[in-house]
Structure 1
Amino acid sequence: MADKLKITLVKSPIGAVPKHRKTVEALGLKKMQKTVELPDNAAVRGMIQQVRHLVKVEEA
């Protein structure tokens, strides 16, 4: 497991379930194609799992 994850928003959350929209925002993703680096832990992995259809994840 890497110590950081690069998470990129690749699909718009506009038509998504409101809970998924809030999860994307909680990950720190505000605009399309923007990338954030977050620590690789269980909480972040769970958030990614919930919105896996909207984001692309790479190990950094």
Structure 2
Amino acid sequence: MADKLKITLVKSTIGAIPKHRATVEALGLKKLNKSVELPNNAATKGMIAQVRHLVKVEEI
């Protein structure tokens, strides 16, 4: 199992509900098509599950 995840914002948060916008911001994603590397843990996976329609996730 990978110890890090690469998360990329692939869809805009303009039409998203405020809770999802806040989750994307908390993941560290600010602009479209930008990526962040975060640890593969339960907290990160829970946040990704909330906004899975806005992001792409790859294991590193």
> TM-score normalised to the size of structure 1?
0.99
Q: CA deviation at 1:34?
A: 0.1
Q: 1:14 is matched with which residue?
A: 14
Q: CA deviation at 1:33?
A: 0.2
Write out aligned runs for 1:1-60 (5 A). Answer: 1-60=1-60
- SS of the equivalent of 2:29 reads coil
Q: CA deviation at 1:8?
A: 0.1
Q: Deviations over 1:20-44 (max 9, x none)?
A: 0000000000000000000000000
Which blocks of at least 5 consecutive residues in structure 1 are unaligned? none
Residue type of the alignment partner of 2:58: E
Provide the identity percentage: 82
- SS of the equivalent of 1:21 reads helix
> TM-score normalised to the size of structure 2?
0.99
* Number of corresponding residues: 60
Q: Distance in 1 between matches of 2:13 and 2:51?
A: 9
